[in-house]
Amino acid sequence: MSNLFPLTMTDCVVRRQGKTVLGPVSLTVDQGGPTIIIGPNGSGKTTLLRVMHGIERLSAGAADWAQNDQGRQAYVFQSPIVLRRSVADNLRYPLQLIGVAKAEIEVAATAWLDRIGLSDIRNTRASRLSGGERQKLAIARALIRDPDVLFLDEPCANLDGHATREIEALLQETAAAGTRIIMSTHDMGQARRLAQDVIFMIAGKVHEKGAASDVLATPGTPELQAFLNGDIVT
């Protein structure tokens, strides 16, 4: 059990150029299975994830972890950022930053390359990878430090079915191994497949929150019902 949790968010507000893009949001995130953040485009899913991870400056409010150790968190961005290095060097990088011994780095990098199926192209520059391969590399790079919590911002956006299936399998293994997953998606099928808890957002605010089995089966608000029906919700 990680001692990072709970994360307590109190009246969190993010404003950009005078416009409120998030909040006020107050919620508590504790240990548990994958939490999936759903909502229409522009509803504040990404901003909420960034606030939780501490890479978004709050205009008001506070987001406090029980233990503030950002090194035990990892984040995967919607457009995977790959370093201008080889595939293997991308995996080595997070461990090099924290001074892990070279031999240990090689063992970990080789294990992850095998796990994500990129061993054969370990020396290829990462920018030459396909979208799915890049995303798998980004997730592996995030997981190589064995974080307690992994944030993912729509990791399967723009990926084909095969790549999506591979990434979902990787995330399920990761969750089963004890890493807390908090992820945004606009793919309701994916939310149903992965979520244990759901946070539904509209216009920068948390509209509904609860166990996935309850929230997705019996939506408590007409807005969520409309969203689940595929209607346009603003």
Partner 1 sequence: MIDIWEGLQAAFWLVVTFDAELWAISLRSLQVSLSAVVVASLIAIPFGTFLAVQRFRYRRLAISIMNALMGLPPVVVGLMLYILLSRSGPFGVLGLLFTPTAMIIAQVIIITPLIASIAHQAMRELWAEYHDLLISLHTTKWQRIRTLIWDGRRNLLTASLAGFGRAIGEVGAIMIVGGNIDNATRVLTTAIALETGKGDFALALGLGFVLIGLALAVNIAIHWLSRTEREGRW
Q: Which residues of this protein are in contact with partner 1, per CB under 8 A?
A: 53, 55, 70-71, 74-75, 77, 81, 83-85, 93-94, 97, 123-125
C-alpha closest to that of 77 among 38, 109, 108, 45? 45
Nearer to partner 1, 76 or 233 (CB): 76
- Cβ atoms within 10 Å, residue 217: 10
Nearest-approach distance from CB 120 to partner 1, in angstroms: 13
Nearer to partner 1, 66 or 97 (CB): 97
- Gap between the Cα atoms of 52 and 12, Å rounded: 10
Nearest-approach distance from CB 10 to partner 1, in angstroms: 23
- Gap between the Cα atoms of 154 and 128, Å rounded: 21
Nearest-approach distance from CB 155 to partner 1, in angstroms: 14
Q: Assess contact for 14 and 21: CB atoms under 8 A.
A: yes
Nearer to partner 1, 67 or 70 (CB): 70
Nearer to partner 1, 27 or 77 (CB): 77
Nearer to partner 1, 23 or 94 (CB): 94
Nearest-approach distance from CB 190 to partner 1, in angstroms: 22
State phi, psi for 97 to the nearest 5 degrees.
Answer: -60, -35
Nearest-approach distance from CB 164 to partner 1, in angstroms: 22
- Gap between the Cα atoms of 181 and 203, Å rounded: 23
Instruction: Give the position of tokens 């370990």.
Output: 122
